[in-house]
Structure 1
Amino acid sequence: MFSRVYLPLVVAIGLATPAWAAGQATKTEAVAMVTRAVAHLKEVGREKALADFSTAGGPYTDRDLYVVVYDLTGTCLAHGANAKLIGKNLSDAEDVDGKLYIQERMALAKANKTFWQDYKFTNPSTKKIEPKEMYCQVDSDLAVCSGIYKQ
């Protein structure tokens, strides 16, 4: 246990920690999550990896960070925050501003090995529609993605 000498220091350090550090994921964490997911995909195969990515509360979800995987036609193959989207072609999906974000994502995936994309989506932590920045890495015919919410 902390002695009386160190306790004020621990409290001061805790108060100096930004609120987002414990609650919201960072861009670095999103890139790391996607990198880990792509490695897992290669290690265990598509079927097992997609199931693992779609397990709520599993190792591919962390606070507001989760993995989503699309084929290059816009069909959702895995979704760590909303299993109802799995198996659906979402290429006509629009965000609240009318942006066809899945169409844009698939165009970016066909032109780039990795990329960031901005759009708006429901944050699973707050249940509010928020600006989101999605990082994707293309592996074969899949776009493996994870993103952060910007408040």
Structure 2
Amino acid sequence: MNRFPKSSGLAALAVVAAALLAQPALAQNATKDDAVAMVKKGITFIKANGKDKGYAEITAKSPQFIKHDLYLVVYGLDGKCLAHGANEKQVGRDLIELKDIDGKPFVRERTELGRSKPNGFWQDYKFTNPTTKKIEPKQMYCERLDETIVCGGIYK
């Protein structure tokens, strides 16, 4: 004999179903192909609209430059952050000495790779995932645009 009214069971089932349906949206990660496509899209936008508008759109978290945990960043070859799709407080800062949790100077490495591999490269380091808020291994795809590097990364 069921001690709970049918409506209580349905309400509980609805809550569980809603929670399960919400999980995939939170757990989705962008792919390497997504990162490459997003960087190319960002470069095309900056070339078509100019640096000021391009950097502003990236930093404003424009939906065209965000996909799941993927966002764009733009650095000058000197290590200055020019646009940041996850943390606008970084814009304008010289981050050349920034290191990941393992002590890897990833911004310095990125600028060096940008000088030596202008047609694109992948970089591994650890960074805080904006969706999980945890430090995770990350792969950043970057391409050089003039004296800048446009990058988008995936979490592994």
The TM-score range, normalised by the shorter chain, is: 0.7 to 0.9
Matched residue SS, 2:89? helix
Query: In the alignment, what sits opposite 2:60?
Result: 55
8 A Cα contact 1:52 1:58, kept in partner: no
Query: In the alignment, what sits opposite 1:130?
Result: 136
RMSD: 1.3
Unaligned runs of 5+ in 1: 1-18
Post-superposition offset of 1:61: 1.1
CA deviations on 1:116-149 (whole Å, 9 max, x unpaired) are: 0000000000000000000000010010000100
| Residue 39 of structure 2, aligned match among 34, 37, 51 | 34
Q: Where do residues 80-99 of structure 1 align in structure 2 (5 Å cutoff)?
A: 80-99=85-104
Matched residue SS, 1:93? coil
Moved over 6 A (4+): none
Matched residue SS, 1:49? helix
Query: In the alignment, what sits opposite 1:23?
Result: 28
Matched residue SS, 2:47? helix
8 A Cα contact 1:91 1:100, kept in partner: yes
Structure exhibiting the larger radius of gyration computed from Cα positions: 2
Whole-Å separation in 2 of the counterparts to 1:115 and 1:75: 19
8 A Cα contact 1:26 1:148, kept in partner: yes
- Note if 1:141 corresponds to 2:147: yes
The structure that is helix-richer by fraction is 2
- TM-score w.r.t. the length of structure 2 is 0.81
Residue type of the alignment partner of 2:56: A
CA deviations on 1:56-87 (whole Å, 9 max, x unpaired) are: 25321111000000000000000000111110
Percent identity of equivalent pairs? 49
- TM-score w.r.t. the length of structure 1 is 0.84
Residue type of the alignment partner of 1:134: M
Query: In the alignment, what sits opposite 2:105?
Result: 100
Unaligned runs of 5+ in 2: 1-23
Query: In the alignment, what sits opposite 1:14?
Result: none
- Note if 1:79 corresponds to 2:84: yes
Matched residue SS, 1:59? helix
CA deviations on 1:68-108 (whole Å, 9 max, x unpaired) are: 00000000000000111110000010100000000000100
